């Protein structure tokens, strides 16, 4: 399974990788209670440095979204998908939506008209 590559070139690689893993958890690719791929396996799959993958995984562990089972690996904890979804929703509304809304207004687009297209 190849994770989608994100387009933001300015962000550090480990944050891009973290976003990809978060999306996979939200989408159920890595289900709650399921083991994540090993650091080496994900690094090989993504063509990334294992230290970069480890740094991304460490952030999930620090945030309480994954837990380590010694000698076995990391698994997604219960409630991780909803916590990630809520955090991403908040980040979207705070960081991305204002710019999208400004652009829509600049282009003369009404959000109500766009809702009909969905």
Q: For residue 102, how many C-alpha atoms fall within 13 Å in the half-sphere facing its CB?
A: 6
pLDDT for 5 equals: 42
CATH class of 13-117: mainly alpha
- Tracing tokens 């387009």 back to the chain, one arrives at 7
DSSP state of 69: E
- Point out which residues pair with 69 in neighbouring strands: 73
pTM over 0.85: no
* Separation CA 83–CA 97 (nearest Å): 20
Contact in structure between 76 and 69 (CB atoms under 8 Å): no
Question: Would you write out the chain's pLDDT as a tens digit for each of its 118 residues?
Answer: 444 444 456 788 888 899 999 999 999 999 999 999 999 999 999 899 999 999 999 999 999 999 998 888 999 999 999 999 999 999 999 999 999 999 999 999 988 878 777 7
């Amino acid at each position: 399974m190849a994770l989608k590559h994100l387009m933001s070139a300015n962000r550090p690689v480990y944050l891009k990788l973290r976003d990809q893993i978060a999306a996979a958890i939200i989408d159920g690719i890595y289900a709650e209670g399921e083991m994540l791929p090993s650091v080496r396996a994900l690094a090989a799959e993504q063509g990334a440095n294992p230290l970069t993958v480890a740094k991304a995984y460490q952030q999930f562990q620090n945030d309480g979204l994954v837990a380590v089972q010694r000698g076995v690996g990391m698994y997604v904890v219960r409630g991780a998908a909803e916590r990630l979804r809520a955090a991403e929703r908040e980040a979207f509304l705070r960081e991305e939506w204002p710019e999208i809304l400004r652009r829509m207004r600049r282009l003369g687009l009404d959000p109500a008209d766009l809702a009909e297209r969905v």
